[in-house]
Chains A and B, each alone.
Chain A
C-alpha cells in the first residue's frame, strides 16, 4: 500500500516537517488558511486533531485548544469535512489524530470509513493500544488505504515495541527526551543511538517529537530522524502573533 504519506517521504529531500492543527481552533476557516500556508511552505504531513474533552497525551496548549473547539460546537463530522475539503485542494497527507473514545463511540469501522472517505492518509490514536480488544485496528485501517500511525517512547519495552512494529506502517512516531537549555539544544548520545537503532529495527521512517519550538531543534534532527513533529508551538505562535508568525517560523525551519 502506498499513499500520500509514503509519497511525501519518498520525494523528501532532508528532514520533513509534520505539523499539527486542532480542528475548529480557533475556527475551521483559520484551520484552512493555516494548512494552506503550511502547504505553501512545503509541509506535506499534517495532523488534524479531532477535539476531545479528555486529551490524555496532550500538554496544556493543545488541551485548551481542544476545549475551545468543543465549546465552539465542533464535532467529528466537522473534522472529516475539513480534511475532505483540504485533501482535494492540496497535495498534503492528512493524519486524523484523536483519542480512543471518538472512534469507539462511532464504531471503529465507521470511523475508518469516514477517515478514508475524507481523503486522510493515516490515523493516530495514542490511547488505543494494540493489545486491547478494540485496539488492533491496523489491518482494518490499511484495508481502507490508511496508515495506522503508532506512537512510542524510548522507554517502550521490547515486547511491546515488537507488537507495535508488527502493526505500524507509514511512519513510526516517537517522543524523545532532549535537553533544551537557554543557549541551545542538544541531543545526548543516548538519544542519537536510540533513534538510529529504532530506525534500523523499525524499517519505517521515524517521526520525532519533543516540543520543538526553534528552527535549531529541527536541524538537530536532520540526518537522524525523517520527520520533525511540530505541535503546540504552532498554536502558541498563532495565538500570540497570528498566521504570519507561523509562516516565518516554518520558513526558518527549512533554511
Chain B
C-alpha cells in the first residue's frame, strides 16, 4: 500500500532518517505533511516563483568566465552567480521557501541556526519581509568573527542568540535551535539552513535549492545547446551543491565534484573534510550520514577559513551519492581557497565568498586537465563582501589593522 509519506524520500540509501527525541516528532510530522500539501500547490509555487524573480533577482546569471578559461587552458568554465541573489548567497532560496511554508502552517515565529551568518541573514530577511518574529542561534565564536552579519540580522529585527555550549560554532547552534524548537513547537517554525538534519529537511531544502540547477540547466542549453560534463560546488552541509547537482543527476557523462574544507591540512581538528582519510558513518543531529568523529563516536573539532564549510557532518543525499561514486569529493586547503579567491577576483572581477572559493580552487585544479570542448559549471554560491574581515586580515593585514584602529579611535 502506498501512503502519502512515500511521496517524499525519508532516506537516501542507508542515510538520512529522523533520529530525534520523541518530543520533536510531532513538529516534524506536521512539517512533512505541510510540505507535501504545498510543494506542488500552484498558488504556493507561483508565489515563490514571483519572490524569486522580483525579490531575489532570479534567475541569477550563468556567466562564461572567458579569462579564467583562457588562463587555465582547458575546458570552458561557466559560473553560476548565486552571489547576485538578494542577501548575497544561495541561502535565500531556501529561507524564502520555508518562510512561505511557515506562514501557511500558521506559525508566527521562526528560528534559525547560522555559522557564517549567511543563513541567519537570509532568515532574518524573510522574517522581516513576512512579519515573522525571528531568533537566530549562532555560536559565540562565530558571533565574534562574523560581526557584520550579526549587525545586519539585528538591523533586520532578528534577535541573535549567542550559543556558549560545546565548541560554540555551527553544530552547537544547530543543537541550541533544535532544543529551543522542542520547547516552542506550537507557534514556531525552524528554518534549517542546509540539506541535512531530520526528515523532511534534507529533501525540502534540496528542493528549494534545486532552482540553482534548474536555471543552470536551462541557461547552458540556451548558450551551448548541450549539457556540461562537469559540475563543481563547495560542500559544507551541502545545500548549494545538491541544489546545483540535483537537476542533473541521472544524466550520462556528467561528473559531479564537491570541494570540502581541507583547512590547515589533514590532521584531526584542522579541517572539515568528511570524505578525506577513512570516512565514518554516524547518527548525529537527527540524521545518519558521514561525520568527523573519533572511534567512540564523539564529534571532532573542525577548522576552515570559511565558517560556512566548518561543520562535522554532511547532508545524507550527498553521502549516498558518494557511496555510489556519483559525486567525487576533494579537500581544498585554506591556502588554495585564498589563492583561488584572489585569482577569480583579478581575472573576472568577481569576488567570491570564501566557501565558493573552494569550488573555484577545485575548478582550477580540474580545468587544465580537461579538453577544450568540454563544459564545466562552477557554483559561486555567495559573494565575498561578508568575508572582508577575514580576507583583509589574510591578504592586506597591516593596512587593514591600521584602518580598524583608526575607525575605533574615531568612534570613541
A residues lining the B interface (CB < 8 Å) = 52-57, 59-60, 63-64, 67, 70, 75-76, 99-102, 104-106, 126-129, 132-135, 150-153, 155-157, 160, 164, 175
Contacts and interface: CB of A to CB of B under 8 A. Distances in A.
Contacts of B179: 56, 59
B22 A153 contact: yes
B296 A156 contact: no
Contacts of A67: 165-166
B57 interface: no
B298 A70 contact: yes
A106 B23 CA distance: 26
Interface string B276-293: 000011111110100101
Interface stretch (B11-19, B154-162, B217-225, B234-242): B11-19
B178 interface: yes
Given A60-B165, A105-B296, A128 B22 contact: no
A156 B25 contact: yes
> Helix, strand, loop or mixed for chain A's interface?
loop
Contacts of B20: 56, 127, 129
Ranked 10 nearest A-B pairs via Cβ: A105-B297, A101-B297, A100-B283, A57-B21, A53-B299, A153-B23, A126-B21, A155-B26, A53-B298, A101-B282
B29 interface: yes
A56 B22 contact: no
A54 B298 CA distance: 8
Interface residues of B, number: 34
Contacts of A133: 14, 17
B21 A151 contact: yes
Contacts of A54: 166, 171, 175, 284-285, 299
Contacts of A157: 25-26, 29
Given A133-B17, A152-B22, A157-B26, A101 B283 contact: yes
B255 to A, nearest CB: 30
A222 B366 CA distance: 69
B26 A156 contact: yes
B298 A56 contact: no
A164 B21 CA distance: 13
B295 interface: yes
B25 A129 contact: yes
B293 A101 contact: yes
Given A104-B281, A105-B295, 4 more contacts: A54-B171, A54-B285, A101-B297, A151-B22
A153 to B, nearest CB: 4
Nearest to B185: A155
29 contacts: A52-B297, A53-B298, A53-B299, A54-B299, A56-B175, A56-B285, A56-B286, A57-B21, A60-B165, A63-B165, A64-B165, A101-B283, A104-B282, A104-B297, A105-B297, A127-B19, A128-B19, A128-B283, A129-B25, A133-B17, A134-B283, A134-B288, A151-B21, A153-B22, A153-B23, A156-B25, A157-B25, A157-B26, A160-B25
Nearest to A98: B297
B283 A127 contact: yes
